[in-house]
Amino acid sequence: MAAFQKAAGFKIKNDSLLNLSFMHRSYSNETEKKANNERLEFLGDSILGAVCATILFETYPDKNEGELAKIKAVVVSEDILSVIAQNLHIDKMLLLGKGEENSGGRTKKAILADAMEALIGALYIDMGYKAAFDFVSRCIKPEIDCVSGENYHKDYKSLLQEYCQQVFRCYPEYCLVKKSGPEHERTFWMEVRINETVYGNGTGRNKKSAEQEAAKVAYEALQGNRSE
């Protein structure tokens, strides 16, 4: 814990709170503990959103609400949060149940992103908003800089729709293939079809993220075919 906090650049006074931020529901279920990191995740998600919105508002006075919202959606996405969590070695700190451990839970984007948000929540409770703001800012400012360029938003659904209209004269169609898992941790499988042909598949914690993943696969495949 001490080494983790030193590398992350903060020192939480309440070690049990920090420990709780890494405690996945699967661990609490198997050990009959009542608490897990879901409440902290709920709180941390709001803190993360507020910090990101503040940074964007102050950094880009010329961008409108829609542009800021697109950048924010990417920066606080599961994909980016899970990478930040891995860079902080949160994957090594996770407390998982045996089943989740055996199924590769330490590498699952959703679990890593949730733990990242829970950690933000723990930091806010223990040290206040300024400490949480400083930590989140250090983590996401480089990501904001990275995605705020010419192709910052990576909105593959929009890119694919524009491509389909230009090339196929139609709109892509997204279809739910299946969904699994309990309500609090559901996984969705989506596919995108163009003129009844499947061009991409994606998974995510909600339909929107699964559609984005499917659109990305389809768009990149179509771009690759065009360049050949």
Give the pLDDT of residue 49. Answer: 96
Residues 91-125 have pLDDT tens digits of 999 999 999 999 899 999 899 999 999 999 999 99
Chain position carrying tokens 């959703």: 110
Among candidates 43, 72, 46, which has minimal Cα distance to 140?
72
Q: What is the pLDDT of residue 185?
A: 74
What does the mean pLDDT of the chain come to?
89
Residue 24, token pair as written in the block: 């996945």
Which residue of the set 45, 126, 143, 191 is catalytic?
Answer: 45
Single out the catalytic residue among 78, 91, 117, 191: 117
Q: In 10 A of CB 91, how many CB atoms?
A: 18
Alpha carbons 80 and 71: distance in angstroms, whole number: 12
Predicted confidence at residue 32, as pLDDT, reads 76
- CA–CA gap between residue 120 and residue 85 (Å, rounded): 11
Residues whose CB falls within 8 Å of the CB of residue 44, separated by 6 or more in sequence, listed in order: 116, 117, 118, 119, 120, 121, 122, 124
100 is catalytic: no
How confident is the model at residue 228, as a pLDDT? 53
pLDDT digits (tens, 9 = 90+) for 178-228: 998 877 678 899 999 999 999 999 998 888 888 989 999 999 899 876 655
Please report which confidence band the pLDDT of residue 164 belongs to, taking 50, 70 and 90 as the band edges: very high
Residue 45 among the catalytic residues: yes
List, in order of start, the domains of the chain with CATH numbers: 2-147 (1.10.1520.10), 156-227 (3.30.160.20)
pLDDT tens figures, 36-45 = 999 999 999 9
The C-alpha atoms of residue 200 and residue 211 are separated, in whole angstroms, by 9
